[in-house]
Amino acid sequence: MNAEEGKILVVDDDGDVLQAARLFLKQHLFSVETEKDPKSLPTLLKNNDYDLILLDMNFTEDVSSGEEGFFWLRKILETDPSIAVILITAYGDIDKAVKAVKQGATDFVLKPWQNEKLLATVSAALKLTNSRRQVATLKRQQEQLTSEIDHHYRDIIGRSSAMMDVFQTIEKVAATDANVLITGENGTGKELIARAIHRRSTRRENIFINVDMGAISDNLFESELFGYVKGAFTDAKEDRAGRFEVANGGTLFLDEIGNLPLNLQSKLLTALQSRKVTRVGSVTSKPVDIRLVCATNQSLHDMVGEGSFRQDLLFRINTIEILLPPLRERTGDIQLLSEYFVKLYSRKYKTPIKELSPSTVSKLEGYGWPGNVRELQHAVERAVILSDENVLQPQDFLFTSETQTSEQVQIEDFNLEEVEKMVLRKALKKHEGNISKAAEELGLTRASLYRRLEKYGL
| Domain residue limits, the chain | 3-136, 161-323, 327-402, 406-456
CATH of domain 161-323: 3.40.50.300
pLDDT in the model for residue 154: 52
Q: Decide if 3-136 and 161-323 have a common fold.
A: yes
CATH of domain 3-136: 3.40.50.2300
Residue 400's pLDDT band (boundaries 50, 70, 90)? low
pLDDT in the model for residue 61: 58
Check the CA dihedral 92-94-95-100 and report its sign: positive
Q: Which residues pair with 48 in a beta bridge?
A: none
Q: What is the percent of the chain where pLDDT is above 90?
A: 50
Which range has the worst mean pLDDT, 108-117, 150-159, 376-385, 446-455? 150-159
**CA angle, residues 2, 3, 7, in degrees to nearest 5:** 110
CA–CA separation, 288 and 267 (whole Å): 15
Q: What angle separates helix 446-456 from helix 416-430, to the nearest 10 degrees? A: 120
CA-to-CA dists, residue 399 to 25, 84, 364, 379, 457, angstroms: 73, 62, 10, 8, 12
pLDDT tens, residue by residue, 345-385 = 999 999 998 999 999 999 999 999 999 999 999 999 999 99
Q: Which residues pair with 291 in a beta bridge?
A: 251
CA–CA separation, 252 and 134 (whole Å): 19
CATH of domain 406-456: 1.10.10.60
Q: Tell me the whole-structure pTM to 2 decimals.
A: 0.59
pLDDT tens, residue by residue, 169-214 = 999 999 999 999 999 999 999 999 999 999 999 999 999 999 999 8
Task: Please name which of 63, 135, 71, 64 lies closest in space to residue 100, comparing C-alpha atoms.
Answer: 71
CATH code matching the domain that covers 327-402, chosen among 3.40.50.970, 1.10.8.60, 3.50.50.60, 3.20.20.70: 1.10.8.60
